[in-house]
């Protein structure tokens, strides 16, 4: 297992969930939700620098069959943009099928999610985005630990 903080980003059309690992690469934790649009790459770059991340994992939303549609193409484009900005910090695309569903199920199983008086819709979606990034990163860390290889595919920086 490689040592060092990994950052995961789960890009959506409106928000980007962000999670980070501990320096040993064992546990993923939520960081924040970044609003999609102007300044989003700047904020992620700042988080990479603040946390001294050795790598960034970007969720690749393939369909259940493994086919890639418009959302996957958007994720690939976003990962390429991040890779250019963050070079030489590597960016990897990792299959994120079911991460949002898994995150919602885990949050629903929690004590306060869904109760009357819980946070409103926007706040709940922000928490779900972060939780999806945690699920993505934890799966990537676990896969690396079990296989001995970094997860997913590296995003090549076009020069």
Higher pLDDT, 8 or 62: 8
3-state secondary structure (DSSP) of residue 14: coil
Please tell me the distance from the alpha carbon of residue 3 to that of residue 25, in angstroms, as a whole number: 6
What does the pLDDT read at residue 101?
A: 52
Helix (H, G, I), strand (E, B) or coil at 74: helix
| Protein fold of 6-146 | Nucleotidyltransferase; domain 5 (3.30.420)
Nearest to 9 by CA among 108, 83, 106: 83
On whether the pTM is more than 0.95, the answer is no
Model pLDDT for residues 94-125, shown as the tens digit of each residue: 998 755 555 556 656 664 444 444 456 767 78
**Domain range summary for the chain, segments of one domain joined by +:** 6-146
Quote the pLDDT of residue 111: 43
Could you report the per-residue pLDDT of 19-39, keeping only the tens digit for each?
Answer: 999 999 999 999 999 999 999
- Residues 81-94 have pLDDT tens digits of 999 999 999 999 99
């Amino acid at each position: 297992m490689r040592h060092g903080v990994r950052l995961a980003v789960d890009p959506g059309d409106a928000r980007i969930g962000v999670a980070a690992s501990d320096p040993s690469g064992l546990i993923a934790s939520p960081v924040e939700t970044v609003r999609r649009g102007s300044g989003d790459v700047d904020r992620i770059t700042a988080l990479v620098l603040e946390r001294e991340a050795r790598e960034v994992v970007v969720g690749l939303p393939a369909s259940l069959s493994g086919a890639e549609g418009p959302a996957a193409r958007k994720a690939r484009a976003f990962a390429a943009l991040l890779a250019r900005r963050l070079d030489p910090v590597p960016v990897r695309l990792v299959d994120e099928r079911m991460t949002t569903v898994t995150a919602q199920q885990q949050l629903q199983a929690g004590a306060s999610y869904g109760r009357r008086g819980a946070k409103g819709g926007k706040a709940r979606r922000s928490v779900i985005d972060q939780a999806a990034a945690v699920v993505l990163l934890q799966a990537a860390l676990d896969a690396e630990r079990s296989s001995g290889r970094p997860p997913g595919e590296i995003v090549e920086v076009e020069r």
